[in-house]
Structure 1
């Protein structure tokens, strides 16, 4: 299941979701969504016990492919898991904030 970037921004502001960036470390360093947690796709399963089952989780990556894999796996494991439609590229295209200051969406 997907959630639009604008809705994700609203849910993050309200503290209603866990936001997890599944991109590579170099991508995270270049720019990310404020308040997101970084777990590379290969680490997500090993860190599953650190992701709260009672709070919805939204995964994101650059365009949505990697985050869809994470969301599907977590959904199958019983989590209320989603991917952000269009990934960080869509977030940035909508003018939503990135950190650090001057951050941008890294190539993958």
Structure 2
């Protein structure tokens, strides 16, 4: 979607050691997100950029890969080199059978 300049990662390549950054809106996060993911809505990123680690692999995810690709590009312009866009986003995450939980801890769904 973004060409070779935006590095990507596939769902199977994401491990427990990967910092999974979910940049979707609050309602999307509440409906369903990956366990262990860190929520930082895309529009809040400039003010909260210091929360994103620079010393480990960061995989950025949204619903389908569009917003997360923009975030990856932004982070790369600001010095991050271990950042990747999750191919297919949360849609592919759920389709791959990876767990999705709601903000109440119960099984969630991808909006």
Q: Name the TM-score, length of structure 1 as normaliser.
A: 0.88
Structure 1 runs of 4+ aligned residues shifted over 2 Å read none
Asked whether 1:104 is paired with 2:104, we answer no
1:13-32 correspondence to structure 2 within 5 Å = 13=16, 15=17, 17-32=18-33
SS at match of 2:53: coil
CA drift at 1:21: 0.5
In 2: Cα distance, 1:57 partner to 1:43 partner: 17
Q: Name the TM-score, length of structure 2 as normaliser.
A: 0.86
In 1: Cα distance, 2:84 partner to 2:76 partner: 8
Aligned-pair RMSD on alpha carbons? 1.0
* Partner of residue 68, structure 1: 69
CA drift at 1:76: 1.6
In 1: Cα distance, 2:59 partner to 2:37 partner: 10
In 2: Cα distance, 1:29 partner to 1:63 partner: 17
Unaligned runs of 5+ in 1: none
Query: Number of paired residues?
Result: 101
Task: Encode CA deviations 1:13-53: one digit per residue, 9 max, x unaligned.
Answer: 2x2x2111100100000000000011100011211112121
